[in-house]
Structure 1
């Protein structure tokens, strides 16, 4: 088994799906959490001046999707069948589209933020999440997104639903996704997994700070 260190800030954010993949797969890893005060010093030591970063036997791996895919393969949460793997990647791609739309505006103008978040809720979510809901229905009854077992597709979905439900996104209703039954089913299956439950019993839940 390789020696693994996952480096991110002390929050869920873009590293949590990878943490959960390793936890569910019972893969030993060092959960390194960078304090913001030390980030300026650590930043130049990362490949792209950004986190998360995975270190595998001394080799750095960057970009959250690449990290999650690696962790998923190591943990048995990524299909070996090419078509099933493509379905998993499709789900991840849609979740990325939704996330980009969610944070489309990053300025300080509250009126502009309200406008963009309103567009997100009324246009982007029905477009992307509505389409994904239908795709998951076509993939099967669930609870898992693709196939009969958890994959990183479910961890992508869990990340999105958690971000919405946390109530920390200004001008976004935390119940926005509750009507998407198949998506919520995938999220719930992840959160009810014994290893995930145990993880959150040990680790304080911090969303973004």
Structure 2
């Protein structure tokens, strides 16, 4: 098995789908967590000024989280990125990415207001706080059910178990989807109700089914994440 080191912050976010794929594949890896105060010094030493990073057998540093996820699925497992289901996995990944991109303005306007046409510090103003609240509550009310319905469609197509039909095991698409869905239930995003997934019971059951897989359940037994979806 290759020697792998995955470097990211001590949060889930972009690295967690990769971690979960490694866990499901049975691949041992060094899970290096960078403290936020140390990031300023490390950032200029990275290829593109971003994390996560991956090294394989002490080789050159690899970048781009989705490339890492696909590599793990293709290299470390026979079931996470099966060649005969390549298109189906990519289609499911695309559906999840559409959902994530839809939420980005509401999620990141507080941290990167300039990217959305607002001045620096906008999120700390009264106007900014109201704008953030409006964007997030409206997304949960109007957009989230639509995207959950798309995921439900994939589940129905597959018989209700995973996002890709005809498989008994999850794929990297499920690793990608569950991390984002769980992020909405953990209470760390202001104005996003931790019960927001409950509008779609099939998706809730899907998240629970994934999180109750033995390797994943063991990983989350320390209390990481919403108790409802462990």
Q: Could you tell me the TM-score, scaled by structure 1's length?
A: 0.88
Question: Equivalent residue of 1:129, what SS?
Answer: helix
Match of 2:195 in 1: 175
Instruction: Structure 2 unaligned segments of length 5 or more: list them.
Output: 111-122
Contact kept? 2:95, 2:150, Cα under 8 Å: no
Higher relative contact order structure (alpha carbons within 8 Å, sequence separation ≥ 6):
1
Instruction: Structure 1 unaligned segments of length 5 or more: list them.
Output: none
Is 121-130 or 3-12 further displaced after alignment? 121-130
- With over 3 angstroms needed to count, the CA separation of the structure-2 counterparts of 1:126 and 1:198, relative to structure 1, is closer
User: 1:147-203, CA deviations, whole angstroms, 9 ceiling, x for partnerless residues?
Assistant: 2211112112211221111022111121111232332233112211111122233x6
Whichever of the two has the greater Rg, that structure is 2
CA distance in 2, matches of 1:206, 1:120: 22
2:142 aligned with 1:123, yes or no? yes
Match of 2:163 in 1: 145
Match of 1:187 in 2: 207
What is the root-mean-square deviation of aligned Cα atoms in Å?
1.9
CA distance in 2, matches of 1:164, 1:33: 22
The alpha carbon displacement at 1:134 in A equals 1.5
- Runs of 4+ aligned structure 1 residues displaced above 4 Å come to none
Match of 1:199 in 2: 219
CA distance in 2, matches of 1:32, 1:169: 25
Match of 2:118 in 1: none
The alpha carbon displacement at 1:116 in A equals 1.0
Contact kept? 1:161, 1:184, Cα under 8 Å: no
Q: Could you tell me the TM-score, scaled by structure 2's length?
A: 0.81
- Give the paired residue count: 203
CA distance in 2, matches of 1:199, 1:24: 10
